[in-house]
Amino acid sequence: MSRFLLLTVAKGTKSMTNRVKLWYVPVNESEKVMEVPPMPYKSSEQEAIGRDVYEEQKAFRSKTADMPASFDRDTPGAGNTNNK
Every domain of the chain and the residues it spans: 40-64
pLDDT at 47: 94
Q: How far apart are CA 81 and CA 22, in angstroms?
A: 21
- In this prediction the pTM is 0.41
- The fraction of the chain above a pLDDT of 70, given in percent, is 76
pLDDT for residue 78 is more than 80 = no
Question: 13-42: per-residue pLDDT in tens?
Answer: 999 988 877 778 889 999 899 988 888 999
> E strands along the chain, which residues?
4-8, 13-17
Task: Give the three-state DSSP class for 65.
Answer: coil
Q: How confident is the model at residue 6 (pLDDT cuts 50, 70, 90)?
A: confident
Q: State phi, psi for 62 to the nearest 5 degrees.
A: -70, -30
pLDDT at 24: 80
